[in-house]
Structure 1
């Protein structure tokens, strides 16, 4: 344990031994004695340091993994989980200047954080609007929407999935139906179609991920997600798009600027 100094166990403490060990390692991560991507001491090293059985060490490591702090790689060991450092600036991410530069919001914000953005798993279909979407878009019963589903990655790591819904009467036959919607993304296309954007309304909730979300985002056990539902409004007040996004909570810092007047 020469590379990492961990405290000794408190034999008089009322906290279970494996939880004390987890506390020590968590504290080392919090103080950045162990940094993102660093390898934890091996089970054998931890057993020797603490004088406990292998199962006790494994229980401690399982606690850290369930909290999303570490990830186990088969045959290599346990590592401090890396998290892409992206600050999501709600007051700036949909600024028109980004679209004028040919950049969709995700690209602009990821590049601003020094990351490499990419998109995959793109699926496009004309479907009947889900009930929640129909209400937000003020559509009648059985109305159709163009659905654009995709996954976003930073430096090859999946960080969010998103499904956009645009009324079919607006998007049908346009580039919005194409896998590559063009520079500036679908918001640039909507404005080209005459729907100048005025404002967005977002609702955010935190929850544990569903099984398919764990797979799509490659989430560690215990990592929750943000579900963000955004509605885009044109200058005439008409809602023209709903985006249902699921974000890995440890990939983002959500930042909002709120006026005081």
Structure 2
């Protein structure tokens, strides 16, 4: 039989992982005071130094907040669940992109900042998803989404050149109503989308753009949007800081 896989991480990292899970799950509510070092030492049967190291990891990751002379507390905001199905339909005429209106319903301020728009040779996985030949180009639109002035997502969206060239998809400005509304106007309604979700360490671009603390991973969503006849009309690589967001999906039974 194979040897059992044991957790060889330092004890401080293992303790931080247990507390991090309690915070992300909501077991430790926002604003809760963290147990004293003495209580944590007794719970985990370790030294004060190890407990301090574990708490410092979580402070660096912004899961915990220290208040001088008062104590250590769970951060005030809980992990937010993002439900992709809320954004698949185009906005109503004259309305902003659904990502922005959904933020408003949650009493948040949403905004986008465009980073890059242009014709590029996409990554190989994007080219395959768009059914492009080798060295074919696609239209890239890169942007950062902010919620309450904090970076919430980094999105790189790619569109077939024959569909995007000469349209607002090639314009550096934001698109009124977002790309789903424009694609609908162009005769390409959204019919379905495939999402593949992964967790991984942040690239330098993601680390800086999303203000990732310490070694917190990002959630990556590789999304293919299809129109009529299963034609792929958009591929987006979306990354979000995993200490602030969860992805939510509802699947109906067949």
TM-score (norm 1): 0.74
**SS, match of residue 200 in structure 1:** strand
How far is the alpha carbon of 1:200 from its aligned partner?
A: 0.8
Equivalence for 1:140: 133
SS in 2 for 1:231: strand
Q: Answer yes or no: is the 8 Å Cα contact 2:103–2:147 preserved in 1.
A: yes
Residue among 243, 246, 251 paired with 1:253: 246
Question: Structure 1 residues 115 and 168 mapped into 2: Cα distance closer, same or farther (>3 Å)?
Answer: same
Specify the alignment match of 1:63 in structure 2. 57
| Alpha-carbon distance, 1:114 to partner | 1.3
Q: How does 1:173-192 map to 2 (within 5 A)?
A: 173-192=166-185
**Secondary structure of the corresponding residue to residue 158 of structure 1:** strand
Q: TM-score, normalised by structure 2?
A: 0.75
Q: SS of 2:207's equivalent?
A: helix
The 8 Å contact of residues 88 and 190 in structure 2, kept in 1 or not, is answered as no
Deviations 1:31-70 (A, max 9, x none): 43x618x9x89xxx979xx9xx996675243232355513
Which stretch shows the higher mean deviation, 61-70 or 107-116? 61-70
Change beyond 3 A, Cα 1:145–1:59: same
Q: Does residue 89 of the first structure (1) align with residue 83 of the second (2)?
A: yes
With over 3 angstroms needed to count, the CA separation of the structure-2 counterparts of 1:112 and 1:24, relative to structure 1, is closer
How many Å separate the matches in 1 of 2:136 and 2:118? Answer: 14
1:66–1:222 contact (8 Å) kept in structure 2: no
d(CA) in 2 for partners of 1:78, 1:63: 13
User: Counterparts in 2 of 1:49-128, with a 5 A limit?
Assistant: 58-65=52-59, 68-70=62-64, 80-83=74-77, 86-96=80-90, 98-100=91-93, 102-128=95-121
Residues matched between the structures, number: 235
> Partners of 2:159 and 2:28 in 1: how far apart?
46
Residue 233 of structure 2: SS of its match in structure 1? Answer: strand
1:120-168 deviation digits (Å, cap 9, x = unpaired): 2421111112211110000112111111111111000011100000111
| Aligned equivalents of 2:21, 2:220: Cα separation in 1 | 27
Unmatched runs of 5 consecutive residues or more in structure 1: 1-14
- Find the counterpart in structure 2 of residue 159 from structure 1: 152
Match of 2:123 among 110, 130, 137: 130
Contact 2:31 2:73 in 1 (8 A): no
Taking structure 1 as reference, are residues 20 and 95 closer, same or farther at Cα in structure 2, changes over 3 Å only? closer
TM-aligned CA distance change 1:61 to 1:126, over 3 Å: same
> Cα RMSD (Å) of the superposition?
3.7
Bigger Cα Rg: 1
Partner Cα distance (2:19, 2:156) in 1: 41
